[in-house]
Amino acid sequence: MSNPDLIVINARIWDQSDRGDEAMAVGGGRVLAVGSNQDVQTTHDGTEVIDAGGRRLIPGLIDSHLHLVRAGRTWEVEVRWDELTSLDDAVSALSDRASAAGPGRWVGVMGGWHPNQFAERSPPSLQMLDRALPDNPVFVQRAYAETFVNSRAIEEMAWDASQAPEGVVTSPPEMAALRAKLGVADIEVAKTGTKSLLRELNRLGLTGAIDASGFGITASSYDAFLELFERGERGFRARLLLGAASPGRELADLEQWTGSIDLTAGNDFVRYLGAGEVLDYAAHDMEGLQPKDITSRANPLEETSAHLANHGWPVHLHSILDTSIAVLLDAWESLDPETLASLRWSICHADQIGTENLKRVAELGVGITVQNGMSMRGLDCEPTWGTDLVTKAPPIKTMLDLGIPVAAGTDGTVACAYNPWRCIAWLVTGESVDGAPPRVASERLNREEALRLYTSAGAWLSFEEETRGTLRPGAHADFAVLSADPLRVAEGELGGIESVMTFVAGERVH
């Protein structure tokens, strides 16, 4: 073993299993050795030794579907309610932001919360927001289901009472118009916000993510993110998806991407991975709250998919409803299955997928990325899906039993909270934030399975399973020392875990 830069001792190391290892040596940004304290303690002048004090050490977590670029752009100007447990505290946070911003400035919450997380178990009322923010227009978005506004916001938007009855907006275009009020044109503000977001993710033990692109993301949306990394950001590994930005011109957008982007460029910290999560706007089934027939989109989906396959691009495509997934699979089954499997294509979400389509996915050899969005919208889906389907959605254990590659993530920061431990807790316990019936035991995971979906499985999607999501010698030294042991802590405490120390490439970033 070469001389290490860093040695961690007295840890309980988990790397896809618990083998009893307690020490790890790091050098040149890579793992050099893992084993007992006695085996690994080879130091030289300049070696830093960290005593983990018996804490659990794991590979850095990888979120397989997180809207990094979009969230970073507004991180400095939005208010986050993800971890708050009191509605009074939540509204006070809005009031504080309004005081800092000044009268007349928009104040907003962009998602990641649910009323049932509060002791009051209710959302903010029009009257409550009016009292707290009389001089500022405010909106509070809950996932993509509804947005709560005050009278000043209704006035600023020039809406009549029918567009925001009792201060509640449910029209997707009007919700999008509200989000646009927090748009950031200043690239320096966007860079500062992105850096703050990455450090917050480090605090939770995340060292990487696949950015899911999404609605409203254009070529210029990446400027702040990429410039941050060009200026030396080395505390996170981002793999970026590129989607269609223009409804009705999706293929032209994708042709522009494939003609101008080299997927082999970039570095170990940031690079483009492929296409997603939106390839056809008319085929996008949003959160799956309402039935949607996309049968007519089979040919456009086949056309865009064939173009990407012919150019050797990985694809990660949003689809929630079983009927939508069926049309998507019709398009993909017309392509060379060996190409799709080799490019590690995947379906994002697949919450409602049924047995027959799961078999088709397994036959194609593509993967699925699952998120804990259902923990915050099970009740929203129940009227149209039925309780039985809600309690099995998504059927993760069945996916794994069929040999389908599965990775986990949050779909943060609008559709769901960005905290990976809340997702891991949901994978294990099946308990939802919104009060929906718990997931059936047969579709829950054990703790090690959940951790694998957040480590090695996420690395597989970006063809990096040999160097990320693991602590084997030669892998990148991305790891976290945790506040509590996810293999031993009580189930009710899983969602409260965070990182005591997080390292990326052997450098401490939290």
Q: What is the pLDDT of residues 469-504, one digit of tens each?
A: 999 999 999 999 999 999 999 999 999 999 999 999
Q: Where are the alpha helices (DSSP H) in 211-354?
A: 223-230, 250-260, 298-310, 322-332, 337-343
Same fold, 77-182 and 187-495: no
Percent of the chain with pLDDT over 90: 96
161 pLDDT more than 90: no
Q: Where are the domains of the chain?
A: 77-182, 187-495
Percent of the chain with pLDDT over 70: 100
Q: Say which CATH class 77-182 falls into.
A: alpha beta
Q: What is the pLDDT of residue 376?
A: 96
Q: Say which CATH class 187-495 falls into.
A: alpha beta
Q: How far apart are the first and last CA of the chain?
A: 27
Residue type, 38: Q
2 pLDDT more than 80: no
Query: CA gyration radius for the chain?
Result: 23
**What are the beta bridge partners of residue 138?**
107
- Residue 41 pLDDT class (50, 70, 90 cuts): confident
Q: How far is residue 311's CA from residue 135's CA, in Å, rounded to a whole number?
A: 53
Q: What is the pLDDT of residue 1?
A: 64
pLDDT digits (tens, 9 = 90+) for 242-274: 999 999 999 999 999 999 999 999 999 999 999
Closest of 346, 349, 272, 358 to residue 316, by C-alpha = 346
- Residue 211 pLDDT class (50, 70, 90 cuts): very high
DSSP code, position 14 = B
DSSP code, position 416 = S
pLDDT digits (tens, 9 = 90+) for 74-131: 999 999 999 999 999 999 999 999 999 999 999 999 999 999 999 999 999 999 999 9
Report, as an integer, the average pLDDT of 317-338: 97
**Average model confidence (pLDDT) for the chain?**
96
216 pLDDT more than 90: no
169 pLDDT more than 70: yes
